């Protein structure tokens, strides 16, 4: 017998301020198109965001405005935020996703350098 499923039932909106800021920072970095190296790091930011949000299964409850004045400084800030998120993560699945996001971010930073 076929049982109807709600595809959105797995969505989890995370209200943690650190998670919300990290995802907002990634969105701001993705939108910082006028900076040198942006095109190189953009695919890595997208992959890092996908990992951090567990491919849509963990969503920020909202976004906060983040201003990017310097791409390398923004990337360094994101790396620090991910390190803090990883240190405070009590859920193994989230820890693995944060670690994967940080690795992708670091590959992007290395590609820009």
Structure tokens at 69: 């004045």
- Mean of pLDDT values over 2-8: 46
Q: Is the pLDDT of residue 10 over 70?
A: no
8 Å CB contact between 40 and 112: yes
pLDDT tens-digit readout, 56-113 = 899 999 999 999 999 999 999 999 999 999 999 999 999 999 999 999 999 999 999 8
Residue 2: which pLDDT band, with cuts at 50, 70 and 90?
A: low
| Nearest to 64, CA basis, from 26, 11, 105, 13 | 26
How far apart CA 98 and CA 48 sit, in angstroms, is 8
Contact 36, 71 (CB under 8 A): yes
| Token reading at 7 | 């595809």
pLDDT at 1 over 90: no
The pair of structure tokens assigned to 9 is 């039932």
Residue 14: how many CB atoms within 10 A of its CB? Answer: 16
Say if residue 4's pLDDT is above 80: no
Read off the pTM. 0.88
Would you state the structure tokens that stand for residue 53, as one six-digit string? 């949000």
């Amino acid at each position: 017998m076929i049982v109807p499923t709600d595809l959105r039932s797995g969505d989890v909106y995370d209200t943690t301020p650190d998670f919300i800021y990290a995802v907002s920072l990634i969105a701001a970095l993705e939108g910082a198109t006028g900076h040198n190296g942006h095109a190189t790091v953009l695919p890595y930011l997208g992959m890092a965001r996908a990992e951090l949000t567990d491919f849509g299964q963990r969503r920020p409850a909202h976004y906060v405005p983040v201003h990017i004045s310097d791409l390398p400084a923004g990337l360094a800030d994101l790396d620090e935020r991910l390190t803090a998120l990883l240190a405070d993560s009590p859920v193994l699945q989230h820890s693995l996703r944060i670690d994967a996001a940080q690795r992708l971010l670091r590959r992007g930073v290395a590609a820009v350098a």
